[in-house]
Amino acid sequence: MANNALTHLVATPEVNPLTNKALSVPILNPFNRYGRVFFFSWLGFFVAFLSWFSFPPLLTDTIKKDLNMTQTDVANSNIVALLATLLVRFISGPLCDRFGPRWVFIGLLLSGSIPTAMAGLATTPSGLIAVRFFVGILGASFVPCQVWTTGFFDKSVVGSANALTAGLGNAGGGVTYFTMPAVYNSLVSHGLTEHKAWRVAYVVPFIIIVSIALGMIFTCEDTPTGKWSERHLNGINTPASTNMLEPNNTEKIPSGVVTPNSMSKFDQKIHSKGQVLQELVVAPTWKETLQVIFSLPTLSLSMVYACTFGAELALDGVLGSYYSRNFPTMGQTKSGDWAAMFGLLNVVFRPLGGYQLALGKKIWLTFLCAITGAFLLAIGLTNPKSESTMFGLVAGMAFFLEAANGANFALVPHVYPFANGIVSGTVGASGNLGGIIFNIVFRYNGTRYDRSTWIMGVICVAVAILQSWTRPAAKSI
């Protein structure tokens, strides 16, 4: 059994003949087209996250002093960094359905790389805030990352595939706490002043992002059988599952939403036995988009993601400063190293959550959100002054929070498969909305990080209870 599982990691996957989607995830085989899409999906989001959160590691000390920033300026820059992501994630969902996730992904990476390279031109707090707003475009890359993966992997493994790409990608938020101080320290050791070193450091993520985007352009495909514009000719189920085709489920689709039975734009490819082969993603109208966004399944997942991923985004921006305040003997580098652990745990914890939800346990998602809130309450109310206690509580909280993120996007592909981009964009944007709300909480509490943390905990527990009665998808899975 173990050998068989290991083989699936490297072997060319079997393909569902009805959907052209892989039945396993070739994690260690970037030479296969399915493995290559998996590889670039997580790596593209990884480098986007690396740049998106490249500022907090140096804001704790270096940038803050160089630009004479106040604590309010730092908090405002953290809020603004999420604002662009919120807006662009909402737009990215419908764009993925219309133009395909691969080109949306590439466009976001290249658009966000330019302000990254220009970060060193900032000379005032307001200038840095403006730069961080445009760098926030990169955070929207999560949406095409998930939609692209969904289009290549069968519904039997899509939960695990999405959780893995998101988990590995989110780890960029942890790696940046190691990378940016290391690049900065290296430049200083080679003779650059502190004033110049942090500015030059931002050329590094720019080069990395552009390289990955070029790799996507020249080595990857839109869908398992070719171009996105020709998906209806090839009969590709991209991205979708066949659950919504069952007659018993049609009444659970919002009225007016385009389904395979009501399509007139594209020819349906029919199986030789007369069965519908699959459904197709179509360009949505505004009416259809709003109906999907405001349906209970979408709103339920959005509320949870606003709490869990929103808390992660807020903590990514302040955790290093929180450690420095509670443990003054830590310098910028050491506090950043410990803060990095929170993001790095995504590699293991987020996929675990996605794996569990792939088995169909909605209660798992609610449980994870509630326990995340409980850990946040424990951290905030006790405000540990012992390093071991603090790091232990944060690690425990990270497990439930990051697993909840993976569990959430294991459900997203099953909600309304024919409008997967819309659902992904809405839920993803809600995570940023939560991040903005929580960052505002941190802003108004200043350096009282403990108070902000327990407030987040209260909100997470309340939302877990509030949404627990809703169905996770149009069909129970």
pLDDT at 471 over 80: no
- Token representation of residue 447: 């350096």
Closest CA to 424 of 437, 413, 440, 433: 413
Q: Cα–Cα distance between 81 and 75 in angstroms, integer?
A: 10
Quick one: pLDDT at residue 251? 36
Residue with token string 């695990």: 160
Return the pLDDT at 267.
Answer: 32
Radius of gyration of the chain (CA): 22
Burial class (CB in 10 A: 0-12, 13-18, 19+), 273: exposed
Residue 47: pLDDT over 80: yes
Weakest mean pLDDT among 59-68, 222-231, 380-389: 222-231
**CA-wise closest residue to 281 among 299, 294, 300, 265:** 265
pTM of the full structure: 0.79
Say what percent of the chain tops pLDDT 70.
Answer: 85
Kindly state the average pLDDT of the residues 416-421.
Answer: 79
Res 241: pLDDT: 35
Determine the pLDDT at residue 336: 84
CATH number listed for the domain at residues 29-223+291-466:
1.20.1250.20
Q: Return all residues near 306 (Cβ < 8 A) that are at least 6 apart.
A: 430, 431, 433, 434, 437, 463
- What are the extents of the domains in the chain? 29-223+291-466
Please write the tens of the pLDDT for every residue from 141-184: 999 999 999 999 998 888 888 889 988 998 998 899 889 999 99
List the Cα angle 243/245/249 in 5-degree steps: 75
Distance CA 87, CA 429 (A): 7
Range 23-52 burial, b when 16+ CB lie within 10 A, else e: bbbbbebbebbbbbbbbbbbbbbbbbbbbb
Q: Which residue has the tokens 């409008």?
A: 419
Kindly indicate the confidence band of residue 94, based on its pLDDT and cuts at 50, 70 and 90.
Answer: confident
Cβ contact 257:263 at 8 Å: no
pLDDT digits (tens, 9 = 90+) for 72-84: 999 899 899 899 9
Alpha carbon dihedral 274, 275, 278, 282, in 10-degree steps, equals 60
pLDDT at residue number 249:
39
Name the residue with higher pLDDT: 248 or 280. Answer: 280
Contact 308, 406 (CB under 8 A): no
